[in-house]
Structure 1
């Protein structure tokens, strides 16, 4: 299978690639294509937006988390439809620490042999855009950059620059997007989409897609995706053991808990684990006949009153934990299992109380970026990004940053549970989930 695919990237953050990517996805759907999408890097929000608002299967791929073979295998296993659109992160060459190539959009494009389309913010620039592109081409040792989209400049001037780009650089010029402040998607749109907001946002994206259909050469974009080289896929299932477990994992899913890597959930399914969803906000207790709990990240800080007020659910989870049920809880899930959370208004809300921990708003990013977590038995990769912190982050594991080597203790582990701030990417070491599933079996599997 050829896997038609294209990477939408940019020279730097803030160039408009997320807005243009969303518009391109809707425009291609309107043209009759069936699509899938991927986000480069650890961000949960863009794939969630693609799934919930655009209705497109979407996941995360990251060359810090996984090596080339696993990255290609994950891509091929979850590829669907006629074409994949891969949204980049930061600037094209910006990887670990901002100075390494690993973890960058370009490194993912290299691993997937995926052609790259650069979105360049041309506002206030002229021929300097040509020099900027020439510099990016000089860095492109695998010759992956195939085309350019100019953003935030007049269409007429963009077309003039486009002719020079094609003549002097040999890149395809796909068109110019005019400055469109009323159509740009803000972080609120992407990160805090409530069901009642979807019609408003869909209207905005439809308008954006119309502008894209008028201004960009989508046929040429499809040609570029189709021209991608054939991928050599090795479906390496190292570490995956299909245990046919007849086990059930309760997954928290509601307004407060919504950050899950699709790839993480797929590993549980490959191991024969049934996933059932529940809402810590709206349900009165845990689902029946479960063998473990997964509490992901999300926005619990926005629903502290509702979470605190659901006493029966808190009691249900606390009882399960005290009885030895294994729990994976990351970031927001850890906050919820703590004794209390104090928000930015100095209001304190009682939480589950399973963990001896008090969490409060710190007013700035506490810890963020890639990490490798050492459990003492294995290493697994992940990242942190949070404005809250705890007076007891746990001491069962050690997190280490890949750039600079800074490390710290983290995570509470009891009866096979792992509860702490780090978000983990399970495909980086499937043995971590194999071990957790074994604990689920010992707790009460069949």
Structure 2
């Protein structure tokens, strides 16, 4: 399988811009790219999907482990296609910022991928050489096969490239100029969503055109042939599919609009594999839940940016509250968890009514709260088998007056732990974004409860 990792020296170097431009250029060449994102990020995969019109998957070695990581990657690859994997943060930045696990380099090692390093060269001269030399020295598997100099000029690239290649034996594939149209706007949680970027398709096409002009795309394609073969087992998650779950589809309503859009593709794939039929609805634009639902999934997103409209949609808030109070199984994560509270106070001190399933309010904390990876264990096993944990990630600037006490979250890098989650026989609500394949029992229990609820209605 041909593949390549687009990595960088640090966050903000332009990985997503280069990745999207490359995906578009490969698509225009008929190369059938498959896209992936290292780490727990939701937004970068949305940009990938905008380019190639198929979902992009997360590859996270903390979430998955090596075997499942290879399985996810190989199943997404098409014959004669090229896998394009966007890295996370700096190349070697992993768990807690100090471990290799979870880093882009760890993923590249597991998948045997060559690495194309993106360096923000703006304001730099010959100092690029010791920077690159340090990365090459730390690259114990000799995976870094080329570099792109971002935010610089053709003139500088033509002068520094021969020096880099002569002194470091590292091919320079080209540069990208410091143009505003080649930058993707950010906010506190990361990039703005694709639909928020004006003329996003046009912008990506322009970036691809610039890439073709300034970067040796042919050499990048040749570089993808350096990907090594990887061992891959059969579908390891198929053993969780039981006759009970594989009968008539289990109808799960999934909140999906501008306010709720953060979902791991592998979570949704696992639910479908287990027998779920995902029925999208919009808490912003619809007035009632879809008919004949068996369960409810409220994912993360930006409800704080749409709080006024969510409050104004009284009918939908009432529909969700009544469904949950009737016993409909539900999972709510981060933004969905905010939505279930009585009220949401934004960063301007404005308070808006939410679904009032949970008492109290959520409020802007002014900083990242409990940021990072976690391992989540139930105090009384319900969704998980006894003694097991499910892995997840927290990334939010909002906190709650009622975070819950039913689970213990432990940070694997520091060992710090804290209580969280509202959990019962048929509900699981809290801030963590969970990665279901790390403990498929979670998804199985949710759908089993949804199946029972659906049968009670018959």
TM-score, shorter chain, exceeding 0.5? yes
Q: Do structure 1's residue 296 and structure 2's residue 306 form an aligned pair? A: no
| Alignment match, 1:368 | 371
Indicate the larger mover: 154-163 or 17-26: 154-163
After TM superposition, the score normalised by the length of structure 2 is 0.92
The 8 Å contact of residues 318 and 353 in structure 1, kept in 2 or not, is answered as yes
Q: Do structure 1's residue 31 and structure 2's residue 33 form an aligned pair? A: no
The 8 Å contact of residues 115 and 144 in structure 2, kept in 1 or not, is answered as yes
The 8 Å contact of residues 46 and 193 in structure 2, kept in 1 or not, is answered as no
Report the 3-state secondary structure (helix = DSSP H, G, I; strand = E; otherwise coil) of the residue aligned with 2:332. strand
The 8 Å contact of residues 46 and 194 in structure 2, kept in 1 or not, is answered as no
| Alignment match, 2:214 | 215
Select the residue among 7, 10, 13 that pairs with 2:5.
Answer: 7
1:236: Cα distance to partner?
4.5
The 8 Å contact of residues 295 and 330 in structure 2, kept in 1 or not, is answered as yes
Rounded to whole Å, the distance in 2 between the matches of 1:347 and 1:9 is: 40
The 8 Å contact of residues 49 and 190 in structure 1, kept in 2 or not, is answered as no
| Alignment match, 2:64 | 66
| Alignment match, 2:356 | 353
Rounded to whole Å, the distance in 2 between the matches of 1:410 and 1:53 is: 37
Select the residue among 381, 404, 418 that pairs with 2:414.
Answer: 404
The 8 Å contact of residues 362 and 387 in structure 1, kept in 2 or not, is answered as yes
Stretches of structure 1 that go unaligned for 5 or more consecutive residues are none
After TM superposition, the score normalised by the length of structure 1 is 0.95
Question: Relative to 1, partners in 2 of residues 1:221 and 1:56: Cα closer, same or farther, differing over 3 Å?
Answer: farther
Deviation track 1:52-103 (CA, whole Å, cap 9, x = no partner) reads 3552431111011111001111112223471111111111001111111111
| Alignment match, 1:436 | 446
The 8 Å contact of residues 119 and 150 in structure 2, kept in 1 or not, is answered as yes
Rounded to whole Å, the distance in 1 between the matches of 2:247 and 2:373 is: 32
| Alignment match, 2:383 | none
Stretches of structure 2 that go unaligned for 5 or more consecutive residues are 380-385
Deviation track 1:144-195 (CA, whole Å, cap 9, x = no partner) reads 1111111222223313322233333333221122222342112169423437
| Alignment match, 1:156 | 155
| Alignment match, 1:329 | 332
Rounded to whole Å, the distance in 2 between the matches of 1:146 and 1:413 is: 48
Question: Relative to 1, partners in 2 of residues 1:306 and 1:125: Cα closer, same or farther, differing over 3 Å?
Answer: closer
The 8 Å contact of residues 297 and 330 in structure 2, kept in 1 or not, is answered as yes
Indicate the larger mover: 393-402 or 154-163: 154-163
Rounded to whole Å, the distance in 1 between the matches of 2:33 and 2:209 is: 18
Deviation track 1:333-363 (CA, whole Å, cap 9, x = no partner) reads 0111111111122221111111123111122
Alignment map for 1:259-338 (pairs within 5 Å): 259-338=262-341
| Alignment match, 2:192 | 191
| Alignment match, 1:201 | 200
The 8 Å contact of residues 55 and 265 in structure 2, kept in 1 or not, is answered as no
Rounded to whole Å, the distance in 2 between the matches of 1:80 and 1:370 is: 31
Indicate the larger mover: 323-332 or 312-321: 312-321
| Alignment match, 2:94 | 95
Rounded to whole Å, the distance in 2 between the matches of 1:314 and 1:121 is: 46
Rounded to whole Å, the distance in 1 between the matches of 2:288 and 2:51 is: 29
